[in-house]
Structure 1
Amino acid sequence: MQAVAVLPACLGLYCGRAVLAANGSAEIYGDCGVCPRGQKTDDHKICRPCTESPDRYDWLYLGFMALLPLVLHWFFIEWYSGKKSSSALFQHITALFECSVAAIVTLLVSDPVGSLCIRSCKVVMLSDWYTMLYNPSPDYITTIHCTHEAVYPLYTIVFIYYAFCLVLMMLLRPLLVKKIACGLGKSDRFKSIYAALYFFPILTVLQAVGGGLLYYAFPYIILVLSLVTLAVYMSASEVESFKDLLLRKKRLVVLFSHWLLHAYGIISISKLDKLEEDLPLLALVPTPALFYLMTAKYTEPSRILSEGANGH
């Protein structure tokens, strides 16, 4: 620690000195610069390995990023399968299998290799996600490049997961669709796969540019999207009562899926730090659906128009 005190301070927020050699308590440091992958600067601007485990919120964030391609797969499979096609269920299961295997393989190849646990650096502030914006320029001419993954591995592990998802989809889905999607025309069979070839690059850019923003905002994004999509689905399906829900099992599956997403958002916001205070919040999960069902008959456009005509 004495050697640290006499070293001149590194410029910039994320520049640090890598440990070149260590002999007991004495350490030899390199010049100020970028920290090696899997390391982050400490309070003394020394690069230290990330040895912590992701906390609950980090895992919830990774779960959200893992769910995005799965939900999009299911949406486009349902969108392009058609009402008479019996292949949708098999494609849904295949998409779930692809994403599950991709998640497991991603964890296995991450450090420590061969384990489902990962080591990480703690996220302290939003700038930790965008170290490339904090490279110092001492003389306003020369830039010292200190860009590294200060939130290791929360940033890059998502790209690895998306790559495995894409590879598994290209290996499994075309064979499945070709064999079982008999109810669809030749031009429609592979549209859900083509859609994935569009949304995977979009998700990759979204993570690259907005990963830090998503990290802090994803619980609220889940809540808003689950509410909006549930209302849109019920309106499009003309669900106006509990009887309408029970007529088709598919509607109940969609309803419970939205409830799970809503619960995920509530858990992500509360982090379940205080179980006795946070668990009762899960009772709010069915509230939006119940409110919609109780008020749908009063907001039906035809009824509003007829009452308006009668009023005149």
Structure 2
Amino acid sequence: MSEICPGRYCGRTEDVNGISSSCGPCPIGYRVNEQRECVRCVRDPSHYDLLYLGFMFMLPFIMHFYVINRCCDSLKDQITTYSSAVVELVLSALISVLLMDPVGTFHLHTCGVEHFSDWYTLFYNPSPNYVSKLHCTQEAVYPLQTMVLVFYFISLLQMIVFRLILKTFFWVYKDRALYSAMYFFPILMFGHSVACGILCGHWFFLAYGIISLRHTFFLFLVPIPFFFYNLTLPYTDPSEFQENEE
């Protein structure tokens, strides 16, 4: 019988012959169970999952409308560009859903979110016996990370196509509206990759509280608990000692 993999996210997969692989990251769309085996995610999205995806869908809507309102002068240009933005984002959202598991349907399978660490598996790669690090970085919250990034990327491509159509057939084309969106979409992608677990939100509120007390020097201490926790986790996690005793 195979030994249980160390760490929180390392698991084993089985091939068609039932042979288990060595410990490592689970494939996309899979997640480790209590036996540290990679199993396919078949959960239905929770109410909070849908609200989260809806919020990430609304962000580019708001940014598009703000930019269009600032760049387009005439009412005709505004209405036409607004309509284009709505079509671009709605089509991108539908395509993104179709690309997720199960592919080709409007039904989503999710892995769910069980712990805050699920968003940051990069920081939970175990070091068995403190000799070498076992890399098991994966998307434990599938598809809440991948789907949003795919949506932003498709929206960027759709925007370029639709705005060129507006220029060619309707003579509506505002350089600033297009160029601004070409900047904020990469920013949204980066922000989602880094802050999709809302960690930066916690830092923001903590920093806001410190500023309200007018102790600005302590702003440099805001990220210290997070880094301290991740640096000391390999040496203080009880599971490490339990695995060594076994």
- Say whether the fold is shared (TM-score over 0.5): yes
Distance in 2 between residues matched to 1:201 and 1:46, nearest whole Å: 35
Instruction: Determine the structure 2 residue equivalent to 1:235.
Output: none
Q: Match of 2:128?
A: 138
> Could you tell me which residue of structure 2 aligns to residue 55 of structure 1?
46
Q: How many residues align?
A: 203
Contact 1:86 1:181 in 2 (8 A): no
Look at both structures and tell me which one has the larger radius of gyration over its CA atoms. Answer: 1
Tell me which of 52, 62, 66 is aligned to 1:71. Answer: 62
SS in structure 2 opposite 1:40?
strand
Instruction: Report the alpha carbon displacement of residue 214 of structure 1 after superposing the two structures with TM.
Output: 7.4
Q: Distance in 1 between matches of 2:158 and 2:109?
A: 26
Q: Residues 64 and 191 (structure 1 numbering): CA distance in 2 closer, same or farther, change over 3 Å?
A: same
Partner SS for 1:45: coil
| CA distance in structure 1 between the partners assigned to 2:7 and 2:79 by the alignment | 53
**Equivalent residue, structure 1, for 2:220:** none
Q: Which of 190, 193, 200 is matched with 2:178 structurally?
A: 193
The equivalences for 1:215-230 within 5 A come to none
Amino acid at match of 1:17: R
**Does the residue aligned with 1:48 lie in a helix, a strand or coil?**
strand
For 1:121 and 1:20, how far apart are their aligned partners in 2? 21
User: Within 1, Cα distance between the matches of 2:196 and 2:53?
Assistant: 11
Residue 15 in 1 paired to residue 10 in 2?
yes
1:41: Cα distance to partner? 0.5
Shift of 1:111: 1.3
Q: Is the 8 A contact 1:177 1:190 kept in 2?
A: no
> Aligned partner of 1:194: which letter?
Y
Matched, 1:210 2:200: no
Partner of 1:295: none
Q: Where do residues 113-124 of structure 1 align in structure 2 (5 Å cutoff)?
A: 113-124=103-114
Map 1:154-169 onto structure 2 (within 5 A): 154-169=144-159
- Secondary structure of the corresponding residue to residue 16 of structure 1: coil
Q: Deviations over 1:52-102 (max 9, x none)?
A: 1111110111111111111111110001112x4521011101100000000
Percent identity between the aligned chains?
A: 37
Q: In structure 2, what is the Cα distance between the partners aligned to 1:68 and 1:191?
A: 19
Tell me, which stretches of 5 or more residues in structure 1 are unaligned? Answer: 1-5, 222-312
Distance 2:200 2:13 in 1: 28
2: CA distance, partners of 1:165 / 1:120? 22
SS at match of 1:18: coil
| Pair 81,181 (structure 1): closer, same or farther in 2 beyond 3 Å | farther
Runs of 4+ residues over 3 Å off in structure 1: 177-182, 214-217
Give the aligned partner of residue 85 of structure 2.
95
Q: 1:125/1:58 Cα in 2 relative to 1: closer, same or farther (>3 Å)?
A: same
* Cα deviation, residue 178, structure 1: 5.8
**Is 2:38 the counterpart of 1:43?**
no
